[in-house]
Amino acid sequence: MTQPAPATHCPECGGTFTAEATCTDRYHACMALELTNPDYGAVHHFTVPAYMLQHPSQLSADGWQAMAQVLHEFLIDGVSPARMRQLIRQQQKTQPRSFSMVKGRVAERPSLTWRKTIMDVRLDDPATYRADVRTWAEAVHYDIQNLDLTGFA
């Protein structure tokens, strides 16, 4: 009996797998770099939301919407990670979130072709990595802004 051919593309984001890595593998490699080297970690606040938005099975439908808002605030409003943590703490005190980021109805996969995925991020050196992550996060944000989300959440 022949074995089925291994997948060549991510079923969630459409990224092209390499011989060495799937999207999950690349994400874990990114996390390892970001959590051990501050030069890579400077863009952690872009990596996590960009990845999660492109892999919606990781989030609830409400969590996906919240993650899209977080990415918007980082990219467009220029909110820093420290300020975001402060805002979330303040909001939890006055108006606790009424949903779970990961539990509940699973987010549906948007029907679009993402312009960039985590597979486009080069890990070679910190400067290249930071530029690639920023470009990827901007592309994710752009794609979401131009997506008809009617009935998505």
pLDDT digits (tens, 9 = 90+) for 136-147: 999 999 999 987
Read off the pTM. 0.84
pLDDT tens per residue, range 22-68:
999 999 999 999 999 999 999 999 999 999 999 988 888 888 988 99
Contact 63, 100 (CB under 8 A): yes
Domain ranges for the chain, please list them. Answer: 23-145
